[in-house]
C-alpha cells in the first residue's frame, strides 16, 4: 500500500516521490496495512501485480506500461507511473469498459482522512499526466460495522467511496493535466 506523502515532497514535486512502503515487520501498523492492501486485491479478480524489487523503478514502469497496453488485464496492482519526475505506485489501477481507468487507493483506516485525499490528488496528477484517461477515484477502506460470519466476505469488509470530486477536481484547472469532465 502507498504511504502518505510528506509535506516536504508536496513542496518539491520535482524530486522523485516513491509511494511504496519499506518492507514492514509482521504485526506492526505498517505491516497490517500492507496485509490489508494485499487482501483488497481480491476485489479485482484477474488483476495483475507489478512485482518488482522495491527500488527497481525503471522495471516497474516498464511492466506497468506493458500491462496498460494489454486489454485483457482488468486491474494493475502496484502500477508504477511517473510524470514530471514524480513517481507513484497505485494500489489498484482498474481498467473500465470504456477505455478509461479508475484509481483505487486502499487504506487500513476505517474512515477517510485529509492525508488520503492529498495523496490521491497527487496520484491523479501523475496518472493523467502519464496519458491515461481517468474516469474516477475511489478510496477503499475498512468498514468498521462489518461482522464476520464463518468466511470473510471481502466485498462487505471494504467500503468503496467515490472521492473523485475531492481529488480529480483539484487537478481540473491545470493546463498540463486536463481531466475529462
Q: What is the pLDDT of residues 148-169, one digit of tens each?
A: 888 888 888 889 999 998 888 6
Question: Which among 90, 83, 33 is positioned nearest to 67, based on CA atoms?
Answer: 90
Q: What is the 8-class DSSP label of residue 1?
A: -
Residue 165's alpha-carbon distances to 34, 64, 109, 138, 171, in angstroms, are 27, 26, 20, 10, 10
* Partner residues linked to 140 by β-bridges: 106, 160
Contacts of 60 (CB under 8 A, 6+ apart): 50, 52, 78, 80, 89
Q: What is the pLDDT of residues 6-54, one digit of tens each?
A: 343 444 333 444 444 455 566 666 677 788 888 888 899 999 999 998 7
- Give the per-residue pLDDT at 176: 42
* Extents of the domains making up the chain: 7-171
Q: Rounded to 5, what percent of the chain is helix, strand, coil?
A: 35, 25, 45
Amino acid at each position: 500500500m502507498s504511504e502518505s506523502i510528506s509535506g516536504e515532497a508536496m513542496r518539491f514535486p520535482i524530486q522523485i516521490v516513491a509511494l511504496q512502503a519499506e518492507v514492514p515487520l509482521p504485526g506492526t501498523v505498517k505491516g497490517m496495512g500492507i496485509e490489508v492492501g494485499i487482501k483488497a486485491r481480491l476485489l479485482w479478480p484477474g488483476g495483475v501485480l507489478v512485482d518488482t524489487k522495491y527500488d527497481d523503478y525503471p522495471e516497474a514502469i516498464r511492466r506497468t506500461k506493458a500491462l496498460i497496453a494489454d486489454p485483457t488485464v482488468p486491474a494493475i496492482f502496484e502500477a508504477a507511473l511517473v510524470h514530471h519526475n514524480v513517481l507513484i505506485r497505485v494500489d489498484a489501477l482498474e481498467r473500465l469498459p470504456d477505455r478509461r481507468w479508475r484509481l483505487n487507493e486502499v487504506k487500513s483506516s476505517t474512515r477517510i482522512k485529509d492525508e488520503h485525499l492529498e495523496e490521491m490528488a497527487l496520484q491523479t496528477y501523475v496518472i493523467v499526466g502519464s496519458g491515461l484517461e481517468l474516469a474516477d477515484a475511489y478510496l477503499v477502506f475498512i468498514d468498521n460495522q462489518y461482522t464476520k460470519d464463518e468466511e470473510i466476505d471481502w466485498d462487505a469488509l471494504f467500503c468503496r467511496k467515490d472521492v473523485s470530486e475531492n481529488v480529480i477536481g483539484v487537478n481540473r484547472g491545470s493546463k498540463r493535466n486536463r481531466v475529462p469532465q
